[in-house]
Amino acid sequence: MTGVSRRLRTVPLALLILYTIFIGLVTLTPNQLDTGQGSFIAGLLEFLASHTVTAWIDYDILEKLANVGMFIPFGLLMALQCGPSRWWIGWVTGIAFTCLIEGTQATLLSPTRFATISDLVTNSLGAGIGAVVGLVVMTIWPPRMDGVPVDHEVR
């Protein structure tokens, strides 16, 4: 494996690890994001409601869009890590990860978190979209193959 191709696989892996930790912090902590009066989410909903084009977006729709959006990078980074022949692993891993999250919320975090089928579907949809985007990126922008490897064998 050349230095260039190694870097191209190391960057998505590092980002994937960091992003997986981020998802864990958002979804597996006992407390939900603050949705009370004066919170960022309340301000965003107020902003959306004040515009005719976005007035239809309420909390439920915003939550579903956020769930899809949160898992798009996960599916994308996983697909980039697995390569074009196994891009679908990004989607399958996203489904497994969201099942783990929802199962944990239903059992260990049940007093403060709520596991829903809707979250399972929207998270899985996001991972699938991300994995497909990863496949498209890898198809359109294949890795550059340099003739000179960076790593040399010492004899």
pLDDT digits (tens, 9 = 90+) for 35-64: 667 778 888 888 888 888 988 989 899 999
Q: Is residue 77 part of a domain?
A: yes
C-alpha 101/C-alpha 25 separation (Å) is 11
In the predicted model, is pLDDT for residue 119 greater than 60?
Answer: yes
Q: Is residue 107 part of a domain?
A: yes
Task: Enter the pTM of the model.
Answer: 0.81
Choice between 35 and 142, residue whose per-residue pLDDT is larger: 142
Containing domain of residue 27, as a range?
Answer: 3-140
DSSP state of 8: H
Q: Is residue 12 part of a domain?
A: yes
Q: Is residue 41 part of a domain?
A: yes
Q: Is residue 155 part of a domain?
A: no
Closest CA to 9 of 64, 58, 82, 65: 82
Identify the pLDDT of residue 103: 93
**89-107 helix and 59-82 helix, angle to the nearest 10 degrees:** 130
The DSSP annotation for 51-101 comes to STTTTT--HHHHHHHHHHHHHHHHHHHHHHHH-GGGTTHHHHHHHHHHHHH
Identify the pLDDT of residue 11: 76
Choice between 30 and 80, residue whose per-residue pLDDT is larger: 80
Q: Is residue 149 part of a domain?
A: no
Identify the pLDDT of residue 5: 52
Q: Is the Cβ–Cβ distance between 98 and 108 less than 8 Å?
A: no
- Number of structural domains (the chain) is 1
Choice between 6 and 26, residue whose per-residue pLDDT is larger: 26
Choice between 95 and 1, residue whose per-residue pLDDT is larger: 95
Predicted confidence (pLDDT) per residue in 84-107, tens digit? 999 999 999 999 999 999 999 999
Q: Is the Cβ–Cβ distance between 121 and 135 less than 8 Å?
A: no
Percentage of the chain modeled with pLDDT above 90: 54
